[in-house]
Amino acid sequence: MLIDGQLRAALDGRTFANENPATEQIIGEVADGSTADMDAAIGAARRAFDETAWGTDHDFRARCLRQLHDGLIDRADDLRATLVAEVGSPVLLTYGPQLDSPLSGIPWLADLVEKYAWETDLGILAPFGSPSRRYTRREPFGVVGAITPWNFPMQINLAKVVPALGAGNTVVLKPAPDTPWTATLLGQIAAEHTDIPAGVLNIVTSTDHMLGAQLSADPRVDLVSFTGSTATGRKIMINAADNITKTFLELGGKSALIALDDADLNTAAATAAMQITAHAGQGCAVTSRLLLPQSRYDEGVDAVVSRMEAVRFGDPTDTSVMMGPLIRESQRQRVLAYIERAVDQGATVATGGAIPPECPQGYFVQPTVIVGADRNAIVAQEEIFGPVLVVLAYDDEDDAVEIANGTSYGLSGAVISADIEHARKVANRIRTGTMSLNGGTYCGYDVPFGGYGHSGIGRESGVAGFEEYLETKSIAEPA
């Protein structure tokens, strides 16, 4: 772990095993932090913020971020191998959203730190007869507690740590126990390749999920940034409430891909299959519902089943594979239970729905298509986090919008149409934080990402994501 500038073991010496989900083999050990380790990390972050110039020296922070970027690039091969081994991510995805894309955003953020308008002049006003010059200052919150999941660990770790540091905060990162090494490598690189002062970045690995509660409830923490399930997000908010600690939450989704009645259904089917099977559907923003016009439903189902059955899955080190395993056995059983529940409620498995016999090792589930489900059925309402696509029929465009908006989530979505203007009009009616039109890609370090409703609070990435980690102070002085 990285605590107060030192790479060290847990105080009590405990460790836990790190497992490869594609082989079910133990690949190594990692420090298993305790409440004492977390307390030390929070204390170090508090001291570093209160007693150093980290929060006010913008140029120094930008330089440290560039050093971090250089160190990560130097260790890219190690990071890539680690992501494949502990996440089960197909190596192909490490050349995009799992690694290379998030790394490319760090220089952009460093540039933003240097050019950002830390002060804004609001001009002179004399509301009570005494002219005053007013201006605003943007300042860091203080100590940021960052709690991250296992599905895209390097991308999400960087999406929280880099802007939080760039804004002048100090950070305590608690990564998911399923994927600890991506975080410990980040800590090692920060300690050995940058001038980031001791205590500014702290990383605590642990199997104890209560350390997340400890981090979010500690009065020394000024902001909690969490990505994960909506259920856990609620607990984070409760833990933070006593101290009125700001919470930034990026939570779940049940996003819909709407194929309009003029859409090319082969394109829609290919898009839907790619979305739900890339990284085995373990993404909060994947479109896990495909909405087809009633008049073309059978045609669309045939197209998507064909596409799903052609998906290559298996060994994530194979560069032709886009779908690897689920993260662990309990997650596989959760996905299979959703499929069984769907059948019990009257739906049909059009393809897949089981453990693939050709993958005797690893936590694999076949690419699965569910048809005939009610739009309000559990399988059509709840986030499954697996390679399970639910295909629903709609009567007309208003009905499609109603179905798309008919969950508690509002993270993402997509529309496919022969007419891009038509697609835009429909997309504007969908209550989500991100939308893809005709295959457009919104993912990027400069694009704000987040959701409506139960999909979260706040935005990650872009200028908006950077500003989540800043307070606003208004100042007036005699003109």
Q: Walk across the sheet containing 201-203 and list its strands.
A: 6-7, 2-3, 201-203, 170-174, 143-147, 223-227, 246-250, 456-457
Given the residues 19, 64, 86, 250, the one annotated as active site = 250
CB 128 within 8 A of CB 430: no
Buried b (16+ CB within 10 A) or exposed e, 227-262: bbebebbebbbebbeeeebbbbbbbbbbbbbbbbbe
254 is written with which tokens? 């049940």
**By C-alpha distance, which of 312, 272, 314, 317 is closest to 292?**
272
Dihedral sign, CA of 292, 294, 296, 300?
positive
The residue with tokens 């606003």 is 472
Tell how strand 170-174 and strand 143-147 pair up: parallel
**Element counts in the chain: helices (H) and strands (E):** 16, 22
What's at 108, amino acid-wise?
W
User: 249 to each of 124, 154, 195, 411, how far by Cα in Å?
Assistant: 38, 18, 30, 12
CB 458 within 8 A of CB 450: yes
Active site residue 359: no
Active site residue 250: yes
Give the 3-state secondary structure of residue 244.
coil
What's at 358, amino acid-wise?
E
Residue 180 burial class via C-beta count within 10 angstroms: exposed 0-12, middle 13-18, buried 19 and up? buried
Give the 3-state secondary structure of residue 202.
strand
Which DSSP category does 299 fall into? H
Residue 24 to residue 330: CA distance in whole angstroms? 13
Given the residues 19, 64, 86, 284, the one annotated as active site = 284
Residues taking part in catalysis: 250, 284
